[in-house]
Amino acid sequence: MGLITHKDIVKNFGKNVKVSEIMTTEIISISSEENVNEAIELMKGKKISVLPVIDSGGLVGIISTDDIAVDACEGEDFLID
């Protein structure tokens, strides 16, 4: 299993490289049974913006910093000009 980030794509744009050449294989992940706060701390500590959710050896979802921001804002009233 491997992971390619937006940064990887931008860095290699226009180059004739295989996915396997630029993907990260040492993936930091979390189980779906873990607490959201644990995911946030892991993402902050590892300075990553995407966290794969893996159960039974397979990918079951992905958490992004955007997901966390939206979740944090739910129920709040914001004025957007």
Query: How high is the pLDDT of residue 6?
Result: 86
Domain contains 48:
yes
Threshold 0.85, pTM exceeds: no
Query: How high is the pLDDT of residue 68?
Result: 81
pLDDT at 78 over 60: no
pLDDT digits (tens, 9 = 90+) for 40-71: 999 999 999 899 999 998 999 999 988 887 76
The single-letter DSSP state of residue 3 is B
Rounded mean pLDDT of 22-45? 93
Residues 6+ positions from 12 with CB-CB distance below 8 Å? 22
pLDDT at 76 over 60: no
Q: How many CB atoms lie within 10 A of CB 22?
A: 15
Tally of structural domains, the chain:
1
Q: The CATH number of the domain where 58 resides is what?
A: 3.10.580.10
Domain contains 62:
yes
Domain hosting 35: range is 6-73
Domain contains 1:
no
